[in-house]
Amino acid sequence: MTIGFIGLGIMGRPMVKNLIKAGYQLVVYDKFAGFDDLVALGACGASSNKEAASKSDVVITMLPNSPHVKEAVLGAGGIVEGISAGKIVVDMSSIAPAVSQEVGEALKAKGVAFLDAPVSGGEPKAIDGTLAIMVGGDQQTFDTVKPILEKMGSSVVLVGDIGAGNVTKLANQIVVALNIAAVSEAFVLAAKAGVEPAKVFDAIKGGLAGSTVMNAKVPMILGGNFKPGFRIELHIKDLQNALDTGHNLNVPLPLTANIMETLQSLKVDGLAASDHSAIVRYYEKLAGIEVRS
């Protein structure tokens, strides 16, 4: 089976490497990034989305946002022009659920199956192949591509029809952002009170307050390491999709709106490309203290 992979950024590149390592033949393409390193590992390079699709049985996209996915799939020289009936497209980008449904319908008209399969875990889990993958689509298509997805993730779950994967991702992103905010607020309080943040972390991480988010982000916060595993500007994008989806469904999202403004403030301060653990910087600025070990 040949897999076309479009989108070779901070997430897509390590995902491709894991698929190559698993023995799959890859055809890769990115409009903006080079891929000589992947060709050196055994992948074949393509000159367009259309060419990558024409040479593949399954096409995976991993792109920044809804407009990029629509362009890559439905635009001029896009996947839809190169793919044939009976093939499968899996979009692993985090985009608006309504756009997933639109793309799915367009591909269905050509006899092409579609899944939306966004991921959680950031660059570290993309590298080690332990992403959480939440999938929307039909059972038969899911069963066909599940072995592929399992080479990139440790959790692969079909959550509903097309669009459900991205609804689940939006829920995930709300929880993650608010968890980081709560951790940040709490550790700034501890630091201001003169209690060593590292000891607070050791004391509470095994209790009810403990979480995967805390375990991943507090060491970064304590070390002042905001090198992006998941950039603030991407979290802004995801939360905007969450707010838009909530408004369309008449679901108020007051906490999401609040953390969105926090992220926007950090963007204004020049931290858009920092890891979302830099949410702590917002609270540090308010309190006039830094949380460091």
Catalytic center residues: 169
Residue 152 near residue 19, CB atoms below 8 Å: yes
Q: Phi and psi of 52, rounded to 5°?
A: -60, -40
Q: Which of 9, 72, 90, 8 is nearest to 45 (CA)?
A: 8
Q: Residue 116 and residue 149: Cα distance in Å, rounded?
A: 12
AA identity, residue 218: V
3-class secondary structure per residue, 2-19? EEEEECCCCCHHHHHHHH
Distances (CA, A) of 217 to 31, 180, 290: 32, 7, 15
- What totals of helices (H) and strands (E) does the chain contain, helices first? 14, 9
